[in-house]
């Protein structure tokens, strides 16, 4: 059974790097893109591997977000990570206060049970080049507004910040890749395809 309470409130504070990224979004009208490749001056559209039911997430594009934690989570994901379950959204029909954001992160654990994370980089890009994903209806939460934006054209890099797993203020879960793949095959629209933790008995 998948827990209906899978997202948590997104962090509204963080360390020095997180705070710098948040300021770029709030004060300079920029968005954030996490990457494993440092030193880029322009970001080009890419075709994502995505199991979401919507077409927006599958388009060939540059994707970005206003949420620093979500961008950092993508930046620190290693190439060896076999799957990454994630979501970031506001309940309702519009983007509201940062305190209302909800975030979910889960990496497929490495074979040895460790987290597939390492150093990465977050790029700041001009918000004017992007469009926000349309509001949609989630089967559990009703109408939601996602913190996901896309540009089908290349975009210039305005700033960059090197990040490490220690810069992520959110708690990322670990899941078994094979088990999740079986659930995706059985129920493609069953995100996040994770079992609810067993309740402790008295």
Nearest alpha-carbon partner for 89 in 194, 202, 191, 162: 191
**H or E element, residue 137:** strand 136-138
What pLDDT is recorded for position 32? 98
pLDDT single digits (tens) 124-134: 999 999 999 99
pLDDT single digits (tens) 136-148: 988 778 899 999 9
What pLDDT is recorded for position 53? 67
- Measured CA to CA, the distance from residue 94 to residue 79 in angstroms comes to 34
CA distances from 35 to 77, 93, 102, 157, 201 (A): 8, 29, 22, 12, 43
What pLDDT is recorded for position 197? 44
Tokens of residue 125, six digits: 């890009």
What pLDDT is recorded for position 4? 44
What pLDDT is recorded for position 102? 94
Length of the chain: 202
In CATH, the number for domain 8-110+117-186 is: 3.20.170
Residue-range domain boundaries for the chain: 8-110+117-186
Q: CB under 8 Å to 144, separation ≥6 — which residues?
A: 89, 90, 91, 92, 135, 136, 137, 138
DSSP summary character for residue 46: B
Mean per-residue pLDDT pooled into runs of 10, the chain (202 residues): 63 97 96 97 87 74 98 96 92 92 93 95 98 89 93 98 97 82 68 54 36
């Amino acid at each position: 059974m998948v827990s209906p309470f899978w997202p948590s409130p997104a962090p509204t504070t963080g360390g020095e790097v997180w705070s710098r990224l948040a300021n770029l979004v709030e004060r300079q009208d920029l968005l954030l893109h996490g990457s494993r490749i440092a030193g880029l001056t322009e970001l080009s559209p890419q075709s994502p591997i995505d199991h979401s039911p919507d077409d927006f997430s599958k388009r060939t594009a540059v994707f970005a977000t206003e949420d620093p934690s979500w961008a950092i989570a993508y930046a620190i994901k290693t190439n060896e990570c076999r799957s990454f379950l994630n979501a970031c959204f506001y309940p309702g029909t519009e983007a509201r206060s940062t305190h209302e954001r909800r975030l979910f992160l889960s990496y497929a654990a490495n074979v040895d049970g460790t987290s597939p994370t390492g150093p990465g980089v977050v790029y700041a890009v001009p918000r004017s080049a992007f469009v926000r994903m349309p509001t949609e209806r989630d089967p559990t939460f009703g109408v939601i507004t996602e913190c996901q934006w896309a540009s089908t054209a290349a975009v210039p890099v305005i700033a960059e910040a090197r990040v490490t797993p220690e810069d992520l203020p959110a708690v990322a879960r670990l899941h078994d890749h094979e088990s999740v793949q079986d659930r995706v095959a059985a129920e493609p629209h069953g995100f996040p395809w994770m079992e609810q933790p067993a309740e402790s008995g008295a």
